Each structure stands twice: as C-alpha cells, then as structure tokens.
Amino acid sequence: MPALTQMELLHELEPVVATELDRHLSVTRGWMPHEYVPWSQGRDFDGLMEGEAWAPEQSRIDTVGQTALVVNLLTEDNLPSYHREIHSALGSDGAWGQWIGQWTAEEARHSIAIRDYLVVTRAVDPEALERERMVHMTAGFNSAYELDVFHSVAYVSFQELATRISHRNTGKHTADPVCEQLLARVALDENLHMIFYRNLLIATLNRCPDQTMSAITDVVRSFEMPGAGIEGFGRRALSIAMAGIYDLRIHHDEILVPVLRACDIWNFEGLGPEGEKAREELAELMADIDKRATIFDEKRAAINARRAARAE
C-alpha cells in the first residue's frame, strides 16, 4: 500500500471520526462542575473582600497531594495550546471539527472544577497558583511532532490515559472524599478521550501500518507529559513518583501496555520492513522501561525503609 499523505489520511479517517464521535456522545454524560465543589467551605480572601489571606496550615492536603493537584491543574489550564495543536494537526473538516469542539469543551470543564475546588477549600496557595498559570500558559505547549498526524494520534492515546491515571491516583492520595469524587469524575472523561483516540490509532494502524508503527515507537521513546514545561517539573514529578501517584511502573503497566495491547501491536500482521524494524525497537524500548521501572521501585522501597527506620 503506498504511503498516504497527511491530507489523504485525514480524509480517510473522517468517517472513523464520525463513528467514534457518535459513540462518544452516546456514552458520555454531561456533568455539572459546580455540583462537585463544596461551596459552603468557602470564605472571602484578603484584598478587595478584606477577608482572610491564604496560609499553608489551612490546607488539609499533604504537600505531595498539593504538588500533584497543581501539576494536574496547570496541565489542564494549558488547553488553548493543545486545542491549537490538535486543530492544526488534525484540521476541522466535518466530524474532525465537531470532535475537537466537543473535546475542548469537556477539557475546559476539568480546569474549571479543579480550580474551584482548590480555591474554595484553600487546598493550595491561590496566588502562587495564579502566577504559575500565567507563566505556564504564556509559554504554551508545542507538540514535539510538528503536527504529524501519526505521531499526534499516538501521543494523545497515551497521554489521555496518563491523565486519567494521574487524576485518579491524585484523588486517592488526597484522602479527601470530595476531591476524590471530583477527580474520579474527571478521570472518567479522560478515559473516554483515550478510547476515542486509541480507536483512531487502531484505524490509522490498519490503513498505514508502517508509518503508524514508526510513530508509536517514536512516541514511546520520547514520551513526556504535556505539563513537562512547568517550572520545577522534574522535582515535582519525582515527588509524585515517590508517592506512587505516577511512576515509571504505572507508566509502563497502566499506560503503555494497555494501549499497545488494544492495538494488538505484537501480533499485528501487514508490516513492511520499516514497520517490523520499528516494532523490534519498540519491544526493546518496552523492556528497557520495564527494567528501569523495577530499579526505581527498588530504590524507592530502600529509601522508604530507611525513612521508616529513622522515624522509629
């Protein structure tokens, strides 16, 4: 099969997008962000309202939980940049445009609800949050894949699942039932987004096996969360990993493996030499990530054991 151009592929995928959009709309349930926020806990802040300024002891969430919440929210905040990237990479003809509109509106609900929760419950410093939002959104987000359709579809398939897991585990970590309920609701949306893009990835793989296989391998090799540009991301990601909210083991077992399995990547037939080469490299990458995940798990266990011994 001759390689398709980006435009040809987008045109070919349009009916798939239409079908997936219908499926998405039939299973998604709209929800009201305001219902997930405990407004009765709110009170005025300093400044115009002359209320009480935020202070660290007001937060009921531990430091790691706060870090994860802020990283998750800043990531959601950068939606205008993602919208621009996806719109530029995938276009807006017919069902594509409808999907992108629907997806954007759903994503915006996430940042609205999470910010309302954080500010009302005084879970994090609202001034620091606002300053960070300005910096992060001003920097924006540029996909590493130069608007290539194959890479973009592969990236969002993994990324939506990664946000699902990261919201879900952040909610559990906070041990605040209200926060957990909200983030579980957000995670449900992320799961549906993942299914949409993953099904599109499968369709892409069936139409253009070699190009899609190479793109999947590239994305697994260089995967970075969209929030990687947040200041101090390395340090924050490490504390999130140390708390088991999102670490390499989770990344391997709960994000990469399920998406690859759904694509039936290891049994997929119809690859040419280029695709076969990419699949072999993917197998090596996966083995390497698995190995590094085990090393991290062991290091973390040793550090935690030392900390526990010191605490006694």
Residue choice 109, 115, 185, 193 for contact with Fe ion (CB under 5 A): 193
Asked if 245 and 38 count as a contact pair (C-beta separation under 8 A), the reply is no
Binding segment toward Fe ion, per CB under 5 A, in 115-123, 193-201, 258-266, 286-294: 193-201
Q: Which is nearer to Fe ion, 3 or 25 (CB)?
A: 25
**What residues between 70 and 99 interact with Fe ion by CB under 5 A?**
none
Q: How far apart are CB 155 and Fe ion at their closest, in Å?
A: 12
Residue choice 20, 116, 132, 190 for contact with Fe ion (CB under 5 A): 190
Q: How far apart are CB 292 and Fe ion at their closest, in Å?
A: 27
136 binds Fe ion (CB under 5 A): no
**What residues between 138 and 177 interact with Fe ion by CB under 5 A?**
160
DSSP 246: S
Long-range contacts of 181-190 (CB under 8 A, 24+ apart): 181/36, 182/36, 182/37, 182/113, 182/114, 182/117, 183/72, 183/114, 185/31, 185/36, 185/113, 186/110, 186/113, 186/114, 187/163, 189/28, 189/106, 189/107, 189/109, 189/110, 190/160, 190/161, 190/163, 190/164
Tell me which H or E stretch contains 124: none
Residue choice 20, 77, 85, 107 for contact with Fe ion (CB under 5 A): 107
Q: Which is nearer to Fe ion, 82 or 145 (CB)?
A: 82
Q: Which is nearer to Fe ion, 125 or 190 (CB)?
A: 190
Q: Which residues bind Fe ion (CB under 5 A)?
A: 107, 110, 160, 190, 193
